[in-house]
Structure 1
Amino acid sequence: MIPHFSDLSANERTYLAWIRTAVSLMGFGFLIERFDVFLIYTTRGSVLNSGLHLRASEWLGLGMILLGAALILLATRSFYRNSRLIQAEAAAAYRGTMVERVLTALLVALALFLVLYVGYQLTSLH
């Protein structure tokens, strides 16, 4: 029997959830990065002369891809740290809310930017 198996497997499930979140973030970043292609296709090329800021979607998408990669690194570090703490006999205080708070703030800022950006792009098309 593996000591602390339920805690170790819960740690692994949490790690895999963070990895799924990071991969989703990276995929959504790729989709945002290609948003200009969607705009050009749906407007049959007339978007090129409308003065839209298509570069913003490229930078935003790249930023989301980089954020997803950073999230994978942070999740991996947290997974190994928590594994060591679970297997240690000494009691330790739980730490780890700062990363979640920073990521939450970044994702809220990203969502607000997307709402403003897409809203601006849609109003510029009419």
Structure 2
Amino acid sequence: MIKSYTDHAANERTFLAWMRTGVAIIAFGFLIDRFDLFVMTMADAVGINPEHHAQLDKMSGAFGLSTGVWFILVGVAFIVAATIRFVRTRSLLKDEQIHTTGFAMEFALAIVLAVLIVVASIPLLVSAL
């Protein structure tokens, strides 16, 4: 039996939750990156007037690509941070001394993700006005 099995199992569950979050952020980045293809295909199928088609083409250009790439990079950063956190916590669990917890990495990733979501929302807010 592994000593402190419940602590190791909790560490692994946390690691898997972080991995799931990272994969979801990456999938959302791909969705943002490729959503412009869906919008343009629907615009061609519906047959909207050329003025609106040009506006859609302008909005779905480079911004969607760059935002999608940034979400993918943040998702990869979540996976890397999860791995680092898992390995560090595992080594701290094996060491039987009392350690303080740190939250700097989690806080930094949360801030980066919040800023990225705000930046990605700006074109939607501007187009709605």
Structure 1 length as normaliser, TM-score? 0.86
Correspondence for 2:65 among 58, 61, 75: 58
The change in CA–CA distance for 1:76 and 1:9 in structure 2 (over 3 A counts) is same
SS at match of 1:75: helix
* RMSD between aligned residues: 1.9
Contact 2:36 2:61 in 1 (8 A): yes
Take 1:119 and 1:40, find their aligned partners in 2: how far apart are those partners?
20
Matching residue of 2:37: 37
Q: For this pair of structures, how many residues does the alignment match?
A: 122
Equivalent AA in structure 1 for residue 117 of structure 2: A
Correspondence for 2:124 among 97, 100, 118: 118
Contact 2:7 2:93 in 1 (8 A): yes
Contact 2:36 2:60 in 1 (8 A): no
Structure 2 portions without partners, runs of 5+: none
How far does the alpha carbon of each residue in 1:25-69 deviate from its partner, in whole angstroms, 9 at most, with x for none?
000000000121122122227565223352101011011111111
Structure 2 length as normaliser, TM-score? 0.84
Take 1:17 and 1:119, find their aligned partners in 2: how far apart are those partners?
31
Q: How many percent identity over aligned positions?
A: 33
Q: In the alignment, is residue 73 of structure 1 matched against residue 88 of structure 2? A: no
Correspondence for 2:93 among 70, 80, 86: 86
Matching residue of 2:112: 106
Equivalent AA in structure 1 for residue 96 of structure 2: E
4+ runs deviating over 3 angstroms: 45-48, 119-123
> Alpha-carbon deviation of 1:122?
5.5
Matching residue of 1:49: 54
Q: Which moved more, 1:23-32 or 1:53-62?
A: 53-62
> Alpha-carbon deviation of 1:7?
0.2
Take 2:117 and 2:94, find their aligned partners in 1: how far apart are those partners?
39
